[in-house]
Amino acid sequence: RVSSDGKPEKFQPPPKPVIIDKQKQKEERRFLSPEFIPPRGRTDPLKFYIERKDMIQRRRVFNIPEFYVGHVLAVTTADPHANEKTSRFVGICIQRGGKGLGATFVLRNVIEDQGVEICYELYNPRIQAIEVLKLEKRLDDNLMYLRDALPEYSTFDVNMKPVSRLDHEEVPVNKLQVRMKPKPWSKRWERPKYNIKGIKFELPESKMKAAQKWSQPWLEFDMLREYDTSKLEDKIWREVREGLKN
Amino acid sequence: MRLSVPVAISHGRVHRRLGLGPRSRLDLLRNLVTALVRHERIEAPWARADEMRGYAEKLIDYAKLGDTNERAMRMADFWLTVSIVFMAVIELKGNPLPPLIRPHRDTEKTLLNQLLKGYREDLQQATKG
């Protein structure tokens, strides 16, 4: 080809392909399981350090996946009285409690019209496998209100196949608004102390206004109640990563 | 954590019970914090001053975040009941008024500097002689 100048064109090499390294991107997002963060108090940090060592030891042998409240999990535990000596339970995680080795999570499912909740300990040596079947975060940290919601929101198929994970970066948030059974409920979920965003309240306006009487607007300005865990988290995250690398 | 356990707090608690209730307690402490910012030194009952100290220090931490930080401004709006304006003086050059007394931190005339100056002169004389 002849360019407009009349001089022969210099060979332009084709642009180099840009390789987006998915592995690197995954490392940037870090998740520290909430039971590693020690609670606020006057206990000796040595106690938490020893506990963390034990937790890391267990995690090296047994893989505990990253999961939040709202995920659907399947847990197989060793059971001496079962046929194959294992029992499998599938359910939605409604609550994650406890710190350290006693950390628990509660799975809920409705089996044959009966609601069943099982509280498992994460570091229980009888647990043989934890699989994440469906990944989705919900609007709240505590889904205890599913007990008073219509049973369709808590039923999950026991033989559910794990949903394939598309993005390695973000956990999707399900903005589902759950419909409730008629009152009375186990707790008054409309009160602001529970701060629930995931219920579709079909109560009359007067009841909602009456519930706001129990709101404590000064609580968010109470500075001494805030517990800043960012530096602690950084330190513990590095410790856990060092421990799990080996 | 505060190791000197005050008498009025029951086991495991952090906050004292002041005023009529939690709202009243925060209002009391709020007034004290505003007064502290305005007058820089106040006198109050020991329990109230002790409670207020934590909040005043946290407020300073929030203030360090800056003017544009929305959360910091919301905290300041709640805790400072009155907007406190710090006054300044401005004057034109060559004005007929007497000069302002501006306290300088380190001048030649402070005792320490005078003593150090004397010491330096002594050393020089010692090396010369």
CATH homologous superfamily of B22-96: Ribosomal protein L17 (3.90.1030.10)
Question: What does the mean pLDDT of chain A come to?
Answer: 88
The C-alpha of B56 sits at a distance from chain A's nearest C-alpha, in angstroms, of: 10
Domain coordinates in residue numbering, chain B: 22-96
User: What pLDDT does A42 receive?
Assistant: 86
Is the model more confident about A6 or about A8? A8
Mean pLDDT of all residues in A142-167: 88
Write the CA distances from A18 to A15, A21, A168, integer angstroms.
9, 9, 19
- A residues 18-47 closer than 8 Å to B (CB): 41-42
Unique residue bearing structure tokens 């209730």: B21
Question: Using CB atoms, which residue from B1, B22, B58 is nearest to A223?
Answer: B58
Asked if A219 and A225 touch (Cβ cutoff 8 Å), the reply is yes
User: What pLDDT does A31 receive?
Assistant: 85
Q: Is the pTM of this model over 0.90?
A: no
In the 3-class helix/strand/coil scheme, how is chain A assigned residue by residue?
CECCCCCECCCCCCCCCCCCCHHHHHHHCCCCCHHHCCCCCCCCHHHHHHHHHHHHHHHHHCCCCCCCCCCEEEEEEECCCCCCCEEEEEEEEEEEECCHHHCEEEEEEEECCEEEEEEEECCCCCEEEEEEEECCEECCCCCHHHHCECHHHCCCCCCCCCCCCCCCCCCCEECCCECECCCCCCCCCCCCCCCCCCECCCCCHHHHHHHHHHCCHHHHHCHHHCCCCHHHHHHHHHHHHHHHHC
Which chain B residues are closer than 8 Å to A216 by Cβ? 22-23
Unique residue bearing structure tokens 């007034």: B31
The C-alpha of B45 sits at a distance from chain A's nearest C-alpha, in angstroms, of: 20
Which chain A residues are closer than 8 Å to B26 by Cβ? 218, 221-222
User: What pLDDT does A138 receive?
Assistant: 92
Please state, in angstroms and rounded to a whole number, the distance separating the CA atoms of residues A46 and A51: 9
User: What pLDDT does B3 receive?
Assistant: 60
| Spatial CA neighbour of A99 closest among A156, A52, A163 | A52
Span A94-133, pLDDT tens digits:
999 999 999 999 999 999 999 999 999 999 999 999 999 9
Give the number of other CB atoms < 10 A from CB of residue A179: 13
Burial status of residue A94 (CB atoms within 10 A of its CB: 0-12, 13-18, 19 or more): buried
Confidence of residue A46 (pLDDT cuts 50, 70, 90): very high
Domains of chain A and any CATH numbers: 45-54+63-174 (2.30.30.790)
Chain A interface test: which of B5, B26, B74 (most A C-beta within 10 Å): B26
On the question of pLDDT at B1 being above 60, the answer is no
The C-alpha of A42 sits at a distance from chain B's nearest C-alpha, in angstroms, of: 7
Is the model more confident about A46 or about A2? A46
On the question of pLDDT at B5 being above 70, the answer is no
Question: Using CB atoms, which residue from A42, A218, A224 is nearest to B58?
Answer: A224
Which chain A residues are closer than 8 Å to B1 by Cβ? 41-42
Name the percent of chain A lying above pLDDT 90. 65
Span B31-75, pLDDT tens digits:
999 999 988 889 999 999 999 999 999 999 999 998 899 999 999
The C-alpha of A221 sits at a distance from chain B's nearest C-alpha, in angstroms, of: 6
Which residues does A71 contact at the CB level (< 8 Å), separation at least 6?
A92, A93, A132, A133, A134, A135, A136, A137
Is there a contact between A41 and B1 if contact means CB atoms under 8 Å apart?
Answer: yes
User: What pLDDT does A161 receive?
Assistant: 87
User: What pLDDT does B70 receive?
Assistant: 92
Is there a contact between B75 and A221 if contact means CB atoms under 8 Å apart?
Answer: yes
Least confident range of A5-19, A135-149, B95-109, B110-124: A5-19
On the question of pLDDT at A189 being above 90, the answer is yes
User: What pLDDT does B122 receive?
Assistant: 96
